[in-house]
Amino acid sequence: MASKPVIEVCDIVTRFGAQTVHDGVSFTVERGTLVGMIGASGTGKSVLLREMIGLQRPTAGQVRLLGTEMWSAPADELAAVRRRFGMMFQDGALFSSLTVAQNIAVPLTEHTALDPTTITALVALRLHQAGLPPEAGAKMPSELSGGMRKRAALARAIALEPEILFLDEPTSGLDPITARAFDRLVRSLVDDLGLTVFLVTHDLDTLLGSVDRLIALAQSKVLADGPVRQVMASEDAWLREYFSARFTASPSPGRAQDGPPPLGGPPGSSRAQRPTIQGVQDHGS
Ligand SMILES: Nc1ncnc2c1ncn2[C@@H]1O[C@H](COP(=O)(O)OP(=O)(O)OP(=O)(O)O)[C@@H](O)[C@H]1O
Ligand SMILES: [Mg+2]
């Protein structure tokens, strides 16, 4: 028997005054998959993420994470489920007055009764898993590069060993090498640790190289939902424009292809290699 989906988004409606952002958005995500969401700027991807993790109440609809109704469960059940997912916000959202290590320790001190020595050891482990050197722990977020800040945010998001990880545009603003290393790191969390990852991205290389399934949000609804190459091959006018705009915009020199790979072709390059934490560190930002 198939196991219950770990994420269930049920008929979400979101309105801000006269503006309807979501008008009946529904989908489910199975455990151990890496799902990507695309949509034009302002279509409500970040709002949907906040609604999914219980931070922003939708106008109507329900979200179930690991079986818990995020918009009707009792407080103790919500507190328990909050320990089981991690979120990396679009801007990283690190606490600027805390060091990187203190930032990573926040969920551990908030949600566990672990002693300080164990927390210090866990923080070191998370830094390592996120591909950061040990000395990064003592730095303030303002002293980090953009890529390192994203890794620090990821380290904090995985602090409690979550079952689900939500990422909002994790590779935006990163150089291509650092971005691909970040993709491999996220992929390894799915393949090696069994996490379920739901990420919002505009990064076509992330979509082609790491994502199992793609959901496109447009006109307040789920426009397409399926394997990446199937969604990319859609005849829908918006999807065709979205992907062609990305393939024709400033192709990088030496790229193997300037258009989408053929359907059923070999998987993306980073997917073909088994990701390792070591491999990620080789490309540390
Ligand atoms: N608290 C709020 N009050 C009013 N309107 C809001 C609020 N939060 C978001 N919006 C509006 O909802 C829409 C969706 O915003 P959202 O940040 O989810 O877009 P997005 O799809 O994540 O865009 P991007 O790709 O640029 O990050 C926008 O028009 C935004 O102005
Ligand atoms: Mg956004």
**Percent residues over pLDDT 90 in the chain:** 54
Q: Whose CA is nearest to atom 8 of ligand 1?
A: 47
Nearest CA to 275 among 182, 163, 156, 160?
A: 182
Q: For residue 206, what pLDDT is reported?
A: 86
42 lines ligand 1 (CB under 6 A): yes
Using CA atoms, how far residue 104 sits from 63, 126, 142, 261, in Å, is: 27, 8, 15, 39
- Pick from 182, 214, 166, 173: which is nearest to 63 by CA? 166
Counting ligands in written order, the one closest to the CA of 48 is 1
Residue closest via CA to ligand 1's atom 31 equals 42
pLDDT of residue 172: 86
Residue 39 CB–ligand 1 contact under 6 Å:
yes
Query: What is the rounded CA–CA span in Å between residue 198 and residue 213?
Result: 10
- Can you give the pLDDT at residue 271? 36
How far is ligand 2, taken at its centre, from the CA of residue 168, in Å? 7
Point out the ligand nearest to the CA of residue 47: 1
Judge if the beta carbon of residue 58 lies within 6 A of ligand 1.
Answer: no
pLDDT tens digits, 45-82: 999 999 999 999 999 999 999 999 999 999 999 989 99
Residue 108: pLDDT over 80: yes
pLDDT band (50, 70, 90) for residue 189: confident
Residue 264 above 50 pLDDT?
A: no
The Å distance, Cα 91 to ligand 2 centre, comes to 9
What is the rounded average pLDDT for all residues in the chain?
A: 83
Predicted pLDDT of residue 281:
31
Domains of the chain (ranges; CATH) run: 1-84+162-247 (3.40.50.300), 90-161 (no CATH)
The pLDDT of residue 124 is 93
Q: 44 C-alpha to center of ligand 1: Å?
A: 5
pLDDT tens-digit profile of 111-165? Answer: 888 899 999 999 999 998 888 899 999 999 999 988 888 889 989 998 998 999 9
Q: What residue has token string 């489910």?
A: 28
- Whether 45 is in the pocket of ligand 1, judged by its Cβ within 6 Å, is yes
pLDDT at residue 276, as a whole number = 27
Mean pLDDT, residues 38-48 taken together = 93
Which atom of ligand 1 is least distant from the CA of 50? 18
21 lines ligand 1 (CB under 6 A): yes
Using pLDDT thresholds of 50, 70 and 90, give the confidence band for residue 248: low
Q: Is 220 in the pocket of ligand 1 (CB under 6 A)?
A: no
Would you place residue 12 in the very low, low, confident or very high pLDDT band (cuts 50, 70, 90)? Answer: very high
Ligand nearest, relative to CA of residue 40: 1
Q: Which of 87, 86, 63 is nearest to 73 (CA)?
A: 63
pLDDT given at position 129: 84
Distance between Cα 46 and ligand 2 center (Å) = 4
What pLDDT, on a 0 to 100 scale, did the predictor assign at position 164? Answer: 96
Decide whether any atom of ligand 1 lies within 6 Å of the 228 Cβ.
no
The alpha carbon of 199 and the centre of ligand 2 are apart by a number of angstroms equal to 11
Give yes or no for residue 16 CB within 6 A of ligand 1.
Answer: yes
Q: Print the SS3 string covering the chain.
A: CCCCCCEEEEEEEEEECCEEEEEEEEEEECCCCEEEEEECCCCCHHHHHHHHCCCCCCCEEEEEECCEECCCCCHHHHHHHHCCEEEECCCCCCCCCCCHHHHHHHHHHHHCCCCHHHHHHHHHHHHHHCCCCHHHHHCCHHHCCHHHHHHHHHHHHCCCCCCEEEEECCCCCCCHHHHHHHHHHHHHHHHHHCCEEEEECCCHHHHHHCCCEEEEEECCEEEEEECHHHHHCCCCHHHHHHHHHHHHCCCCCCCCCCCCCCCCCCCCHHHHCCCCHHHHHHCCC
Would you say residue 35 has pLDDT above 60? yes
- Ligand 2 centre to CA of 113 (Å) is 34
Residue 279 confidence (pLDDT): 28
Whether residue 278 has pLDDT greater than 70: no
Are 240 and 260 in contact by the 8 Å Cβ rule? The answer is no
- pLDDT band at residue 168 under the 50/70/90 scheme: very high
Ligand 2 centroid–CA 210 distance in Å is 20
Contacts of 230 by beta carbon, 8 Å cutoff, 6+ apart: 263
Ligand nearest to the CA of 38: 1
